[in-house]
Amino acid sequence: MNRNSLLLITAVILLSAGCSRNSVSANAGPPAMPPVAVRAVRAQAADVPLTASAIGNVEAYSSVDVKARVTAPILRVAFEEGQNVNKGELLFELDPESYRRQIAELQADVAKDVASERQAAATIDKDKATETNYESVAQRSTALLKQGILSREQTDQAVMNAQGARASIDADQAALQSAKASEDADKARLAETQLSLSYCRVYAPISGRAGAVQVKAGNVVKENDTTLVSLLQVTPIYVTFTVPENLLPLVRKYNSERPLQVSALTAGGISVTGTLRFIDNTVDSTTGTIKLKAEFPNTERALWPGQFVNVNTQLDLERGRVLVPARSIQNGPQGQYVWVMNPADQSAAMRTVQVLRDYTAPGQGSQEQAVLGNGVNAGEMVISEGQMQLAPGAHVRLLSGSAT
């Protein structure tokens, strides 16, 4: 066999081998995609509270600026700044000396008025006796004049004496009334000064927390001028917040059935519960919100005036709502959807859902849940991690930590 024949045989063998490999590759088809590793949880049905959330501001239940009601120097401050004081507790003591002197003078004036009144009464009694005597003389003189025993001049004199006695009694009555009026006026001034003397001891009008003291012992304070200290009542306490006006019908509806419960969460993570007490009578047209006010017992002093807190108002309790993890919700051209796993064949399907709102159950470590209106039934497996690698009909493989 010559060289040319060997080359031809070799070429035929190589060509046959190439055609055989191409035929095998064409019959095998594309390789299968491996299952996508995901985590999934089971959609749950639960009773979910319908709440309105807002940022609230803590306000004192009542606030009083304590001022002096008289003008006097301060002798003593009877409390410490920042102290809790009780209603009726002594706060300040003012110098009472000037009012005591005025009281002594007015008491003397009243005593003098009483003496003048008694003297006027005695004078009236004396003048009445005189008037009786003169009246009797005038009557006898008139009778003797008719008999021709006395002259006209003598009779007229007797009548004039009787008239003068009556005029003296009238003057005495006026003096008595003047003495009584003077006594009443002095007694009124005495009572006013005694009241001013009582104002020299300043007591707490409410129970509350004392702020900074604005004056010290030795300072002279004026009547109803400088604020001595501010008292804030913090037990109970108010939290004021606003909600959108579209929630007003729901707030009014449920609050008419029962007082709405309001929870406040402080920046330190402390949660307290109170009751809605006030709905404002008008909507703020500039913000489209309505102001509400809730009352909290605040026995533990978790809330402090001026503090900002997160407020949740529970309007209603919706029964049997379907919950899925909020992280499982995806956004697409057709709206929001989730991936649902079919346990029979471990395949994933896209499902459009209606998300009503987000909800986080009370308690530490609670994850945010999406409250669904429709799209998923309780018990279905919803993929919560690994959605970015999914396509409709793709097979999945559950990682550890998934619900079973």
> Which pLDDT score, from 0 to 100, does residue 366 have?
72
> Which pLDDT score, from 0 to 100, does residue 165 have?
65
> Which pLDDT score, from 0 to 100, does residue 115 have?
87
> Which pLDDT score, from 0 to 100, does residue 138 have?
62
Report the run of H or E that residue 44 belongs to, with start and end: strand 44-67
In order, the DSSP letters of 206-251 are S-EEE------TT-EE-TT-SEEEEEEEEEEEEEEEEEEGGGHHHH
- Cα separation, 126 vs 134, whole angstroms: 13
Walk along the chain (404 residues) in steps of 10 and give the mean pLDDT of each run. 46 45 45 82 91 93 95 94 94 95 93 84 73 67 64 66 70 79 90 94 95 92 92 96 92 91 93 95 94 95 95 89 94 92 91 90 76 93 90 89 59
> Which pLDDT score, from 0 to 100, does residue 77 have?
95
CB neighbour list of residue 270: distance below 8 Å, 6 or more residues apart: 302
Helix (H, G, I), strand (E, B) or coil at 6: helix
**Alpha-carbon distances, residue 61 vs 222, 240, 270 (angstroms):** 28, 11, 20
> Which pLDDT score, from 0 to 100, does residue 17 have?
45
Helix (H, G, I), strand (E, B) or coil at 23: helix
By CB neighbour count within 10 A (0-12 exposed, 13-18 middle, 19+ buried), where does 129 fall? Answer: exposed
- Rounded (to 5) percent helix, strand, coil in the chain: 35, 40, 25
- Cα separation, 237 vs 274, whole angstroms: 9
Q: Is this prediction's pTM over 0.85? A: no
Within 10 Å of residue 134's Cβ, how many Cβ atoms? Answer: 20
- Cα separation, 62 vs 264, whole angstroms: 19
Helix (H, G, I), strand (E, B) or coil at 372: strand
Report the run of H or E that residue 340 belongs to, with start and end: strand 335-342
> Which pLDDT score, from 0 to 100, does residue 387 have?
87
- Cα separation, 48 vs 372, whole angstroms: 11
